[in-house]
Amino acid sequence: PRFKLDLELIMPRFELDLEWIMPRFELDLELFIPRFELDLELFIPRFELDLELFIPRFELDLELFIPRFELDLELFIPRFELDLELFIPRFEFDLKLFIPRF
Please provide residue 91's backbone torsions phi and psi, each rounded to the nearest 5 degrees: -100, 15
Q: How many domains does the chain have?
A: 1
Q: pLDDT, tens digit, for every residue of 2-56?
A: 444 455 544 444 444 444 444 444 444 444 444 444 444 444 444 444 554 444 4
Q: What pLDDT does 6 receive?
A: 52
In this predicted structure, what is the pLDDT of residue 92?
Answer: 46
In a domain, 95, yes or no: yes
**Structural domain that includes position 31:** 7-101
> Would you say residue 2 lies in a domain?
no
Which pLDDT value is given to residue 77?
A: 45
Q: Could you tell me if residue 1 is inside a domain?
A: no
Write down the pLDDT at residue 69: 44
Residue 18 lies in a domain: yes
Q: Per the domain annotation, does 77 fall within a domain?
A: yes
